[in-house]
């Protein structure tokens, strides 16, 4: 399994960065890049560093790190750079074409992972010193521009920023939108069966939000005022909090960092308090989402509802409730952990992208968090489930959570094949003692 994972990462390497999956995703994606670097670090630290440096090189002058960096031309993906027109923003990268949105800010905790994995702590710390301020600048951008009410929680303005693109959570937002019918050719469904991808109507909404952002030249304050999609997402905020914590730990190893540590701690305290106040739902015993445009909570349980375990956000009581919820509703004898959407809901679809399938990056985060809290048994089950489905089906993008499907001969793995973060994170799990 290890050698296959390395082979995939080698094949997906493109002279400076890794594509998530050949043809389906032919560019560099922000959170993919971070997860992939963790895998690369196990066999080629130079490449792991280069992956992160390339990503950070595309940072905008205002601190935003874009969700896609279009390094090369490719006609196998839509929408490309020509649709996004991110150069409408005066501080967009002049060097690279990119989207005008971001993705979960994984880079901070990824640097800490590189430090953990590296055998040469002096060399890796030297590297971290050379890039860490860019990551800090990215967090500063998020708190200064994505938190209009100064709550300590940042918003996302597009479902693609969440990374969990077509989660049923966004349905109520799209129902309120009156998006036009765009004329475009889907490219994703040339590579993957349409039953596993978002619908055409969903794409109309995705494109419409971008059109609105373009109308305001990707200005954050105007987006906050006018975007139909404006959400405090538990996963995005969890990742930011986890990365804050990592930056604090790493800056402690770097001289003259007191001011930044102080600022990070301020962000962190405020964020964790508000997160628990606003996003923990006592009745559902899970973290939920907040729709800032409608000014109300979206009470849905997804794998992101458990993600705060990764950043030590829940109290002991909350983590106990969360794990009970996870085991009762998402595990049982019938499902592999962890479905991306509540399997007991009528909208659960075990094949369709973020509406049900298991994703390895979410499993990896849950595994790490549960271990830290001392929930060794559940953590081990997540690791075992992850390795079992990949072993049986291959390094796919997402997997069917229904165990009984695995007794049948046809494929239970969906989306892109030879998927980079699946390979990278499996490699990390396999290299653990
Ligand atoms: C849009 C690259 C990305 C992941 C996302 C995943 C999918 C893109 C798409 O692929 O999204 O960003 O075109 O469907 O949902 O999490 O980063 O792997």
**Cα 286 to middle of ligand 1, angstroms:** 25
Binned at pLDDT 50, 70 and 90, residue 188 comes out as: very high
d(CA 286, CA 308): 10
- Ligand 1 proximity of 35 Cβ (cutoff 6 Å): no
Ligand 1, atom nearest to 30 Cα: 17
Alpha carbon distance, N-terminus to C-terminus of the chain: 16
Residue 104 CA to residue 366 CA, distance in Å, equals 15
How many whole angstroms from 162 Cα to the centroid of ligand 1?
Answer: 10
33-86 per-position pLDDT tens digit: 999 999 999 999 999 999 999 999 999 999 999 999 999 999 999 999 999 999
CA distances from residue 388 to 326, 340, 375, 395, 406 in whole angstroms, order as listed: 19, 17, 20, 11, 10
Distance 366 CA to ligand 1 centre (A): 20
Nearest CA to ligand 1 atom 12: 160
203 lines ligand 1 (CB under 6 A): no
How far apart CA 363 and CA 384 sit, in angstroms, is 10
Ligand 1 within 6 A of 29 CB? yes
Phi-psi region of 254 (alpha: psi -120 to 50; beta: other; left: phi over 0): beta
Task: Give the β-pairing of 28-29 and 231-232.
Answer: unpaired
Of 415, 361, 365, 367, give the one whose Cα is nearest residue 36: 361
| Ligand 1 nearest atom to the CA of residue 20, by list position | 18
Q: What is the mean pLDDT of the chain?
A: 97
Question: Per the structure block, which two tokens stand in for 226?
Answer: 């006018």
Answer for the pair 209, 293: CB distance below 8 angstroms, yes or no.
no
Per-residue pLDDT band at 433 (split at 50, 70, 90)? low
**Ligand 1 neighbour 163 (Cβ under 6 A):** yes
Q: pLDDT (tens digit, 9 = 90+) per residue, 201-253?
A: 999 999 999 999 999 999 999 999 999 999 999 999 999 999 999 999 999 99
Helix H segments across 67-170? 81-84, 107-117, 121-145, 159-162
The percent of residues in the chain predicted with pLDDT above 90, rounded, is 98
SS3 category, 73: coil
Any ligand 1 atom below 6 A from CB of 25: yes
Segment holding 68, helix H or strand E: strand 68-70
Separation CA 15–CA 36 (nearest Å): 14
φ, ψ at 97 (rounded to 5°): -85, 140
Q: How far is the CA of 283 from the centre of ligand 1 (A)?
A: 32
**Residues 112, 135 contacting (CB under 8 angstroms):** no
Question: Cβ(27) to ligand 1 under 6 A?
Answer: no
Q: What whole-number distance in Å separates Cα of residue 53 and Cα of residue 233?
A: 27
What number of other Cβ atoms are within 10 A of residue 108's Cβ? 27
Catalytically active residues, by annotation:
165, 397
Which residue lies with its CA nearest to atom 18 of ligand 1?
20
Mean pLDDT of 324-349: 94
74 contacts 27 by C-beta, under 8 angstroms: yes
Residues 417-428 pLDDT 10s: 999 999 999 999
pLDDT of residue 187: 96
335 lines ligand 1 (CB under 6 A): no
| DSSP state letters, 344-367 | TSTT--TTSGGGS-B-HHHHHHHH
In tens, the pLDDT along 150-168 reads 999 999 999 999 999 999 9
Rounded Cα distance between 148 and 323, Å, is 33
Ligand 1 centre to CA of 147 (Å) is: 24
CB 322 within 8 A of CB 288: no
Question: Angle CA(158)–CA(163)–CA(169) in degrees, nearest 5?
Answer: 65
User: Is residue 410 very low, low, confident or very high in pLDDT (cuts 50, 70, 90)?
Assistant: confident
| Per-residue confidence (pLDDT) for residue 178, from 0 to 100 | 96
CA distance 56 to 30: 9
Here the tokens at position 114 are 């590189």
The pick from 22, 28, 32 for probing ligand 1's pocket by mutation, whose C-beta has the most ligand atoms within 8 angstroms, reads 32
């Amino acid at each position: 399994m290890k050698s296959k994972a390395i082979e995939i990462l080698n094949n997906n390497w493109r002279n400076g960065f890794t594509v998530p999956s050949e043809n389906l995703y032919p560019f560099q994606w922000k959170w993919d890049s971070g997860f992939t670097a963790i895998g690369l670090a196990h066999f080629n630290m130079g490449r792991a560093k280069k992956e992160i440096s390339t990503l950070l090189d595309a940072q905008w002058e205002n601190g935003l790190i874009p969700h896609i960096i279009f390094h090369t031309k490719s006609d196998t993906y839509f929408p490309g750079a020509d649709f996004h027109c991110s150069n409408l923003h005066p501080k967009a990268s002049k060097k690279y074409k990119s989207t005008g949105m971001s993705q979960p800010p994984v880079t901070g905790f990824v640097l800490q992972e590189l430090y953990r994995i590296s055998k040469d702590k002096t060399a890796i710390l030297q590297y971290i010193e050379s890039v860490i301020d860019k990551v800090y600048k990215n967090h500063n951008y998020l708190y200064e521009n994505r938190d209009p009410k100064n709550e300590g929680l940042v918003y996302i303005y597009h479902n693609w920023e969440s990374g969990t693109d077509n989660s049923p959570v966004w349905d109520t937002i799209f129902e309120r939108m009156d998006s036009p019918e765009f004329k475009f050719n889907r490219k994703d469904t040339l590579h993957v069966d349409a039953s596993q991808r978002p619908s055409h109507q969903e794409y109309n909404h995705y494109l419409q939000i971008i059109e609105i952002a373009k109308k305001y030249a990707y200005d954050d304050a105007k987006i906050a005022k006018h975007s139909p999609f404006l959400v405090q997402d538990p996963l995005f905020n969890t990742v930011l909090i986890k990365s804050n914590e990592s930056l604090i730990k790493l800056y402690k190893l770097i001289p003259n960092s007191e001011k930044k540590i102080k600022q990070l701690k301020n962000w962190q305290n405020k964020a964790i308090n508000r997160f628990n106040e606003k996003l923990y739902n006592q009745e559902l015993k899970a973290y939920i989402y907040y729709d800032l445009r409608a000014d109300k909570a979206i009470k849905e349980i997804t794998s992101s509802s458990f993600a705060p375990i990764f950043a030590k956000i829940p109290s002991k009581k909350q983590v106990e409730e969360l794990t009970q919820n996870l085991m009762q509703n998402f595990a049982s004898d019938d499902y592999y952990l962890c479905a991306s959407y509540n399997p007991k809901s009528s909208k659960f679809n075990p094949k369709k992208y973020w509406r049900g399938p298991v994703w390895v990056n979410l499993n990896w985060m849950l595994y790490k968090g549960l271990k830290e809290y001392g929930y060794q048994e559940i953590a081990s089950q997540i690791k075992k489930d992850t390795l079992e489905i990949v072993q049986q089906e291959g390094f796919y993008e997402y997997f069917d959570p229904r165990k009984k499907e695995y007794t049948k001969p046809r494929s239970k793995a969906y989306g892109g094949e030879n998927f980079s973060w699946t390979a990278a994170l499996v490699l990390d799990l396999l290299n653990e003692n």
